[in-house]
Structure 1
Amino acid sequence: MSAPGKFQVLVVDSSPGNRQLLSECLSQLSDVKVISAGEGNQALDLFAATQPSLIVMDMNLQDMDGITLARRIRGRERLGEEETLTNWTPIVFLSSVMDEELLAKGIIAGGDDFLHKPVSEVILLAKVRALLRIVGMQRDIHAAHRKLKEISTLDGLTSIPNRRHFDDTFATEWKRCLRAGAPLSVVLTDIDFFKQFNDIYGHQAGDACLKAVAGSLNESLFRVEDTVARYGGEEFVTILPGTDARGAIAVAERMRRSTRELCIPHEKGIDGLVSCSFGVSCIHPSAEATPQKLLHHADQGLYSAKRSGRNRVVLTQHG
């Protein structure tokens, strides 16, 4: 893959001499790195390995024609597309034959421009510069899309995943554990006496408390596959794929201690400090069980934890 700010151009030509001339010409562009291939299959391998920014190819190759190669490249782009954004790689055809029908077929197959051989160095450099400007704009659009996606799945206050991200991740992990026959655990967390905290210290302090607790919960997770999200208000939810009930209780206890060790003063809290209650549930996903059932049992555990004194972890077993 091209380095940030650098464009990689793939030259495809069966003639070593032509490849060298084209490479030397394109190397005049300071922001371009040139790689080359002598046949179509080699070009496909390089395309998959390097994801070039632009391709300059001869229409007549020894192992396949340029139109076939262009179709295969476009097919691989669609297979490797990221989310809803397709990666587009400009293709410039080179041909010693001026044939309008051939040109039309090439454009339909996925080509973007056509140059007659022998190629004018000035024209080639101008065409490449113009197409690379568009590629640069495409990079900016993809970066903006990734940023917007990240923002759309993060909670604006706490900067941890939001409810939307939780819903998507929970559905994905349920299916994954179902296929693997692995357990899936969920931990529901609620800040104890949070309404009273807001009433006493104000909403600004309440927001600071939510941020601190969210950070503490997140730092209590040691595996990349585990996820904690803001569930709503002062509630948080943690997904623990491949974790059994015993392991989930251990994670919840670590979270409970971590939030307690924040030592946030709370006049109406347990022993004068902010604390959290935790409901834990575990299940082996199956055709008979549902994700909603797992969440329901975790919610029952949370209710039991709050009813029995708060600042504790309660596991709800499935009957």
Structure 2
Amino acid sequence: MSDRLPAHLRLATILVIDPSPTDRAQICDCLKQLPDVRVIAAGEAGEALEVIRSTSPNMILLDSTQKDIDGISLTRAIRHLEQSGISADFAPWTPIVFLSSVADEDVLAQGILAGGDDFISKPVSEVVLLAKVRAMLRIAARQREICHVHRQLKEIATLDSLTGIPNRRYFDDTLATEWKRCLRTETPLSIVLSDVDFFKQFNDIYGHQAGDTCLKAVAGTLSESLFRVEDSVARYGGEEFVAILPGTDAEGALAVAERMRQSALELCIPHASGIDGRLSCSFGVASARPGPHLAPQQLLRFADAGLYAAKRAGRNRVSLSRETLA
């Protein structure tokens, strides 16, 4: 896929920030000797920050003397941009090398503490510049690869390997996050807990491979039943699934659960021991306005009580927990 990218997107981008047009041009000309490198220049801090926001450079060469802001303050601003996560592709660390004609150890120390990584004296030695740039780009490339792998591992850690939807870990983390958000905004939070009816019998009749296929289909149709981006469904364990509906009251959650129930039934998966010969699901709904009198796990227990009531009433139905507080 990377071969299809435009050439400038496959190149390592180096941003040169220098208020002197002469020095800026000289450094850029020197850097253009390097293969697979794209050089961008900026003359002042404001322009440089805009370039960083739009291009996410692989490396920055920064003159410590700026007209509108000193190099140390600019370095702090760059590090703040990285930490704020302005985009998913923005590297959490971009090498910053200071360029300065003033050999002041205190200034150098302040620059490193502010987030700088190295220092090159002016007038710049072409040999030293190219060597340090090569080294920093190697480090930056490895670091970005590590970040990419970390993101992949994080995604894998929160996805259910069978169904491909979020797993119990994701649900626990999301429930805690949404609970705090709804507590802050004083809005309701609802949970829909579902279970595939007579799933043990399904496995006994059709085999575990068919059971896995069934769970994948149910997971997919339950996910498609959620129309808002803030809503999510996860595999809670075994044949159980759970949906989190932030900002949704009991009435709205019942409507969502009924839509999910109908979508599971419309899969038309044969089940000899099921209701009317088809696979179905039961649903328990709980809703509350988060507050000091209630904890997230209590809401989950309420939904479980609703699910139990739906099972006891004959399955393939939705039941609202009597404990609902919204």
- Cα 1:208/1:131, change in 2 over 3 Å: same
Q: 1:291 aligns with which of 292, 296, 299?
A: 296
Instruction: Tell me how far apart the structure 1 counterparts of residues 308 and 65 of structure 2 sit (CA, whole Å).
Output: 72
CA change 1:245–1:103 in 2 (3 A) is closer
Matched, 1:52 2:57: yes
Aligned counterpart in structure 1 of residue 307 of structure 2, from 298, 302, 307:
302
Secondary structure of the equivalent of 1:228? strand
Q: TM-score scaled by structure 1?
A: 0.89
Query: In structure 1, what is the equivalent of residue 38 of structure 2?
Result: 33
What amino acid maps onto 1:199 in structure 2? D
1:7 pairs with 2:24: no
Question: Residue 56 of structure 2 contacts residue 91 of structure 2 at CA under 8 Å; is this kept in 1?
Answer: no
- Is the alpha carbon distance of 1:78 and 1:98 closer, same or farther for their aligned partners in structure 2, counting shifts above 3 Å? same
Q: 2:147 aligns with which of 129, 134, 142?
A: 142
Letter of the 1:37 partner, please give it.
A
For the residue of structure 1 that corresponds to 2:310, the secondary structure is helix
Check if 1:181 corresponds to 2:169: no
Counterpart CA distance in 1 for 2:54 and 2:138 is: 23
Q: How many residues in Structure 1 have an aligned counterpart in Structure 2?
A: 317
Structure 2 spans left out of the alignment, 5+ residues: 1-7
Match of 2:260 in 1: 255
CA 148–277 in structure 1, closer or farther in 2 if over 3 Å, else same: same
Preserved contact between residue 166 and residue 235 of structure 2 (Cα < 8 Å): yes
In structure 2, what is the Cα distance between the partners aligned to 1:297 and 1:186? 9
Aligned-CA RMSD value: 2.6
Residues 11-20 or 116-125, more deviating: 116-125
TM-score by length of 2: 0.87
Aligned to 1:159: 164
Asked whether the 8 Å contact 1:81–1:87 carries over to 2, the reply is no
List, as ranges, runs of 4+ consecutive aligned residues in structure 1 with deviation greater than 6 Å. Answer: none
How far residue 73 of structure 1 moved from its aligned partner, in angstroms, is: 3.3
**What code does the residue aligned with 1:278 have?**
F
The farther-off stretch of 129-138 and 59-68 is 59-68
Q: How does 1:48-127 map to 2 (within 5 A)?
A: 48-80=53-85, 87-99=92-104, 102-127=107-132
**Cα distance in 2 between the residues matched to 1:227 and 1:216:** 12
Secondary structure class of the residue paired with 1:172 = helix
* Contact residue 78 and residue 86 of structure 1 kept, 8 A: no
Check whether the contact 2:64–2:72 (CA below 8 A) recurs between aligned residues: yes
Contact 2:62 2:98 in 1 (8 A): yes
Offset of 1:111 from its aligned partner?
A: 2.8
Amino acid at match of 1:24: D
- The farther-off stretch of 159-168 and 64-73 is 64-73
* Counterpart-to-counterpart distance in 2, 1:92 and 1:292: 50
Q: C-alpha distance in 2, partners of 1:59/1:180?
A: 45
**In percent, how many aligned pairs have the same letter?**
64
Q: Which residue number corresponds to residue 282 of structure 1? A: 287
CA contact (8 A) 2:197 2:282 kept: yes
